[in-house]
Structure 1
Amino acid sequence: MTLLRSLTCAAMLAATVLAPSFARAEFKLDPRFTDTNGDMVADTPTDPAKQLDPDTLIFAYTPVEDPAVYAKVWTEFLDHLAKVTGKKVQFFPVQSNAAQLEAMRAGRLHVAGFNTGSNPIAVACAGFVPFTMMASKDGAYGYEMEIITYPGSGITKVEDIKGKKMAFTSETSNSGYKAPSALLKSQFGMQAGKDYEPVFSGKHDNSIIGVANKDYPAAAIANSVMKRMIARNVIKPDQVVAIYKSQTFPTTGYGYVYNLKPELAAKVKEAFFTFDWEGTGLQKEFKSAEPPQEKFIPITFKETWAVVRQIDDAMGVSYTCK
């Protein structure tokens, strides 16, 4: 069995291990982690025997409709990561947020990009240490949650969703579930299961295509994903209509597992911040975002993800690490 197949099988078998629950609790790390400096992420173990120094670094991008497309998008970066770290690097095409989380928690995933909503559970339960995200050349970043429908659906405003199906992505997603759920309840007095029927597509791509093909009357999505899909001609702009747009949220956070050997972790950081985007698959794929994503900038989980943790708190979300 190949390394990639082993990773995929193990992650899929454990895909339901990590999940959010809904009992209000202050954000905290799993007891197996320590945080002596108060930065809200797990410390590297002081015992060298507990530090990871793998021959092959496994990298995973947040789940998407067609992982093969993104394997190509990340090719130049992963070649650069291999050169800087002196390690072999392999792209791991994860199929779900839960599979990605469990792979890192189990020590099988070393470097990754976790989507906005998954970052808190990745930090708390999997020992994820986010340190960067994409931004424009002038440092602008972020995306908005949009609620979309299709022309002729009969939905022209958020209130029209009442009595209909509403597509979400997964319960760990910020823009695909947590933010819109909080919005529908607090601002429009609409509760899932009572005022509308929630359905889960698994991914933003699925929700967007589902609305464009009229499978879902409405969906909550990250508009950065939709813009990239339009730029790739996956859907046409006139197939969807936005009826709500949120405040700006941070985008996918990139980082490494907490117990990576410090010298190797430093090389991983160096690779992100020295990568030349010009003419690469990353530039082609992400320049269509608004603002365009053209470089990696430093971030901290404590500060950059404060707004996301506030949404979790407002929803009464806590994370159970099993």
Structure 2
Amino acid sequence: MRKDKLLGTALLAMMSLAGQSAFADETCASRGDLDVMYCDADGDLVADAPTDASKLRDPGTLVFAYTPVEDPAIYADIWQPFIEHLQTVTGKKVQFFAVQSNSAEVEAMRSGRLHIAGFSTGPTPYAVNLAGSVPFAIMGSDDGRFGYKLQVFTQADSDIKEMADLKGKRVAHTSPTSNSGNLAPRALFPGLGVTPDTDYEVTYSGSHDQSMLGVVARDYDAAPVASEVVDRMAERGLYDTDDVRMIWESDPFPTTSYNMAHDLTPELQEKIREAFFSFDFAGTALGEEFSGVQKFIPITYKDQWAVIREIQKANGVKYTPEGLAAE
């Protein structure tokens, strides 16, 4: 059994136990889609901080994770300037945690082993509802713009010229919970004349990187991918842009959300926010990796993830352990 499937199974078992009444907040009057461990009395769609001060956490070492990528070791180095800044502002040691799957990242946040994390667009609602994660920032430009586009690529010499030409083809989606890699295509493509699984064969590649590399290698006829990922891949020379051709792109979606655990002390939460919003990308490895990004921008899950929730609702997504484990 694959390692990520084992992690998903373990996550499902742990959440099933946590859903028992001994772990639930029996006094919660409103929680929406949140797991029974959490409450949403103020209606902002994210977990409230514990009302019992003894349940607030102020860890000596903060653990930070970035969304799963093809080569986590590279990103540990890329994030180092920010980690050093975070240590300076918070006065705490910060450890980078390289995650191998979305399920593992959500499980780490839920279990209390992860305090700050970047979650991909699609998995963010799972982190919010299953792990008590609170999105508060996103990468953007000086003028406040942020986002990425869903783009569909095929080979440069392919006979696929428009979306309808995907009929009868083998198309790589990334993973079931991915927004641009699966959910948005399933919600948007029928309006463009092609329905995934009906008009073309869906094959899950595991990541945007693998989808794009699979198109280049002709393992797949085409693939929907996130523009920010394939742009960075091209900048690193992982594929030749002359080998592929884009046949369609969407309007912008929000990118990776940056989250903190809901049960950190108010003082620590404020320091974490200060670290994010005071970080200067200029001249850092992080700034070089994420071209066009100059700063972290404040966001809320309720507002900026509304379009993502709509897409997931259209796909029948339920924010359950089973849904995440299936990913």
TM-score normalised by L of structure 2:
0.88
Q: Who is 1:38 aligned against?
A: 43
Q: Who is 1:284 aligned against?
A: 288
Q: Once the 2 structures are TM-superposed, how far is the Cα of residue 13 of structure 1 from its aligned partner?
A: 4.0
CA shift digits 1:68-117 (9 cap, x unpaired)? 11111100000111111111111111111111111111111110011111
Q: Who is 1:268 aligned against?
A: 272
In 1: Cα distance, 2:149 partner to 2:93 partner: 36
Q: Who is 1:235 aligned against?
A: 239
CA shift digits 1:175-216 (9 cap, x unpaired)? 011001112234324241x32211111111111111122221
CA shift digits 1:144-187 (9 cap, x unpaired)? 00111112232222122212211111111110110011122343
One-letter code of the match for 1:15? G
Q: Who is 1:310 aligned against?
A: 310
**Which runs of at least 4 in structure 1 moved beyond 2 Å after TM superposition?**
10-18, 184-187
Q: Who is 1:113 aligned against?
A: 118
Q: 1:268 to 1:78 in 2, by over 3 A?
A: same
Q: 1:186 to 1:315 in 2, by over 3 A?
A: farther
One-letter code of the match for 2:277? F
Q: Who is 2:168 aligned against?
A: 163
Paired-residue identity, % = 52
Kept after mapping to 2: 8 A contact 1:164/1:197: yes
Q: Who is 2:223 aligned against?
A: 219
The one of 189, 204, 222 equivalent to 1:200 is: 204
> Secondary structure of 2:98's partner?
coil
In 2: Cα distance, 1:143 partner to 1:203 partner: 16
1:24-103 equivalences in 2 (<5 Å) = 28-103=33-108
> Secondary structure of 1:54's partner?
coil
Name structure 2 gaps, 5 residues minimum: 13-30, 323-327
Kept after mapping to 1: 8 A contact 2:280/2:294: no
For the aligned residue pairs, the C-alpha RMSD in angstroms reads 1.9
One-letter code of the match for 2:119? F
In 2: Cα distance, 1:143 partner to 1:270 partner: 25
In 2: Cα distance, 1:37 partner to 1:81 partner: 29
Name structure 1 gaps, 5 residues minimum: 1-9, 19-25
Q: Who is 2:26 aligned against?
A: none
In 1: Cα distance, 2:183 partner to 2:42 partner: 29
In 2: Cα distance, 1:153 partner to 1:224 partner: 23
One-letter code of the match for 2:7? A
Q: Who is 2:17 aligned against?
A: none
In 2: Cα distance, 1:56 partner to 1:93 partner: 16
One-letter code of the match for 1:299? I
> Secondary structure of 2:202's partner?
strand
